[in-house]
Amino acid sequence: MSYNLKENLMREERLAGGHRMCAGCGSPIAIRTVLRQLEPGDKAVVTGATSCMEVSTFMYPYTAWKESFIHNAFENAAATCSGVETAYRALKKQGKLDDTYKFIAFGGDGGTYDIGFQSLSGAMERGHDMVYVCYDNEAYMNTGIQRSSSTPRFADTTTTPQGSVIPGKIQNKKDLTKIMVAHGIPYVAQTTFIGNFKDICEKAHKAIYTPGAAFLNVMAPCPRGWRYPSEDMMKVCKAAVETCVWPLFEVVEGKYYLSYEPKNKLPVEEYLKMQGRFAHMFKPGNEWMIEAFQQEVDRRWENLLALCNL
């Protein structure tokens, strides 16, 4: 069935208001969008890694989750989710359960790229029928904007402050999506919030309904950490895609498909200039930083095009 925004929005909303995420936060947008792709009648158990999202959505006694939800710790959302999924199979096998459940884990980039990486890798390798969704906001926002392995090069964070000797983060962003592809799981995709949300909705639906393990990497901007006015979220996401800083693609059974190719690939400045975390890159004498950033984006983009046979 082809995507239709109106029909999609008429589906059941599975995240409740009253959560305490910051105004303009990207993570609840990712969560409600992913959960909306559950087919009517299907239930879900959601697992949340410790994160802004987790402490804001289940502060006793208030849960924003209309589905069953389990938070365990920071580094083990994938393992915990795999335990719930296995319990489901056990009860199904014993004839003790009739309903259809889907299993979705959410973690931030810290809980996914870094501390939860082993747990994630294990769960994906074991092939549990689950989706792991990383809402990637490129730093440890819950503890106050510290760098993670997802933070882009040069970004100014509280543990990579742009100083007189070291200009922000030294290393490039880890390419987690490709690492997940290397697990040989049936579905991996990278997406964000664009236009009528067709890209993220379709990918989330595929991720949930592809049998076996699936991984979805959603760029979910954090206005506080990235330092842009909260109302500009959609502009930031669009710039990330149009500059190819965050390309949209999916990998189905190991085969790469490019979801969107910009007609005119914009220079990275168009993305960087919107965000305070990159402001120092625009100071006189720092032109080399923008050049280096552009080179890395180009290198990865060319590599992706080659993988997609384009």
Partner 1 sequence: MGIRERLSGNEAVAYAMKQINPDVMGAYPITPSTEIPQYFSSYVDNGEVDTEFIPVESEHSAMSTCIGAEAAGCRAISATSSCGLIYMAEMLYVAASDRLPITLAVSCRALSGPININNDHSDAMSVRDAGWLMLFAETNQEAYDNYLQAMRIGEAVGLPIMICQDGFITSHAIENIELVETEKVREFVGEYKPEGGLLKAPMAVGAYATPAFYMEAKRQQAQAMMDAKEVIKKVGAEFGAMTGRTYGLIEKYEMDDAEEAIVIIGSSAGTAKEAIKELRAQGRKVGMIKVRSFRPFPSEEIVEALKGVKAFAVMDKDDSFNGHCGPMYAEVAASLYAAGVSGPKGISYIYGLGGRDVRVESIQHVFADLKEIAETGNIGETYRYLDVRE
Partner 2 sequence: MSYKKASEINEKIGWRDITPGCNIYEGGTSVTVETGDWRTMKPVINWDKCKQCLLCAPVCPDMSIPVTAEGKRGEFDYFFCKGCGICSKACPFGAIEMVKDEK
Task: Summarize as ranges the residues that interact with partner 2 (CB under 8 A).
Answer: 5-10, 13, 15-29, 32-33, 57-58, 60-69, 193, 195-197, 223, 229-235
Torsion angle of C-alpha atoms 296, 29, 191, 237, degrees rounded to 10:
-40
287 binds, among partner 1, partner 2, none (CB under 5 to 8 A by kind): none
- The three-class DSSP label of residue 190 is strand
Residue 132 β-bridge partners? 105, 215
Q: Nearer Cβ to partner 2, position 34 or 213?
A: 34
With CB under 5 to 8 Å by kind, the binding choice for 291 among partner 1, partner 2, none is none
Per DSSP, helices labelled H in the chain are 5-9, 27-36, 52-57, 77-93, 109, 117-126, 176-181, 198-209, 223-226, 233-242, 269-272, 287-307
CA-based R_g, the chain, Å: 19
82 binds, options partner 1, partner 2, none, Cβ within 5 to 8 A by partner type: partner 1
Helix (H) or strand (E) holding 134, with range, is: strand 131-136
β-pair type (131-136, 101-108): parallel
Minimum distance from residue 11 beta carbon to partner 2 (Å): 9
Count residues contacting partner 1 (CB under 8 A)? 46
Minimum CB separation of residue 217 from partner 1 in Å reads: 21
- Give the whole-angstrom CA distance, residue 184 versus residue 304: 17
CB under 5 to 8 A by kind: which of partner 2, partner 1, none does 293 bind?
none
Return phi, psi of residue 241, to 5°: -80, -45
Out of 17, 40, 41, 61, the only residue in the binding site for partner 1 (CB under 8 A) is 61
Among 2, 94, 164, 309, binds partner 1 (CB under 8 A): 94
Tell me whether residue 72 or residue 259 sits nearer to partner 1 (CB atom). 72
Q: Is 72 in the site for partner 1 (CB under 8 A)?
A: yes
Q: Is 13 in the site for partner 1 (CB under 8 A)?
A: no
Query: Of partner 1, partner 2, none, which one sits near residue 276, judging by CB under 5 to 8 A according to partner kind?
Result: none
Nearest to 148 by CA among 175, 113, 179, 120: 113
Instruction: Tell the smallest beta-carbon distance from residue 286 to partner 2 (Å).
Output: 29
Give the amino acid at 234: M
Interacting residue ranges for partner 1, rule: CB under 8 A? 45, 47-48, 54-55, 58-61, 63, 65-73, 75-76, 79-91, 93-94, 97, 99, 101, 118-119, 121-123, 125-126
